[in-house]
Amino acid sequence: MRFKLRPWNLRDLGQLVNYANNWNVAKYLTDQFPFPYTEDAGKSFIEMASKDNPVRIFAITLSDEAVGGIGIHPQHDIFKKNAELGYWLAEPFWGKGIMTTAVKEMLEYSFNNFEINRVFARPFGNNIGSQKVLEKTGFVLEARLRKVLFKNGEYLDELIYAVRREDRK
């Protein structure tokens, strides 16, 4: 399936709410990604995602339909040469290679547009799909923090994966 990364816009609101309002997506994300996912949450997100230049948060689209999102979040202070990668994809599109390719494209974009040397991602320990995506795209597991996340009444491990500019495939 061929997709495109493009900036979010308000025309994406209905698709965003439709696909993001899914417990199987939300359960692997921080509580900043609300469930249920409302239209107000979608408007706030699109407004926030649209303000950066260069763009940091993109819609993942198929035939111009927003089916997920991916973003790079440069850090500050002594962490300024690092950026965190975050992403999600609508459940009907899981297992089709979309996210693996999107992460590869986002890495290229990130290293070409930001003065960073390391991109990291922090999937939950129980998110096997995300771990596989990161491993396929050259990320290396740097740490497992045991039971530091608390989501839905359960303690979960946090994994820290990273790829450095000089090591990427």
Domains of the chain, first to last: 4-119 (3.40.630.30)
Q: Decide: residue 47, CB within 10 A, 0-12 exposed, 13-18 middle, 19+ buried.
A: exposed
How high is the pLDDT of residue 167?
Answer: 86
From residue 70, alpha-carbon distances to 50, 77, 104 in Å are: 13, 23, 11
Q: What is the mean pLDDT of residues 73-100?
A: 97
Cβ-based neighbours of 54, under 8 Å, separated by 6 or more: 113, 114
Helix (H, G, I), strand (E, B) or coil at 136: helix
Please say whether the beta carbons of 116 and 74 come within 8 A: yes
Q: What is the pTM of this model?
A: 0.95
pLDDT in tens, 119-131: 999 999 999 999 9
Mean pLDDT for the chain? 96
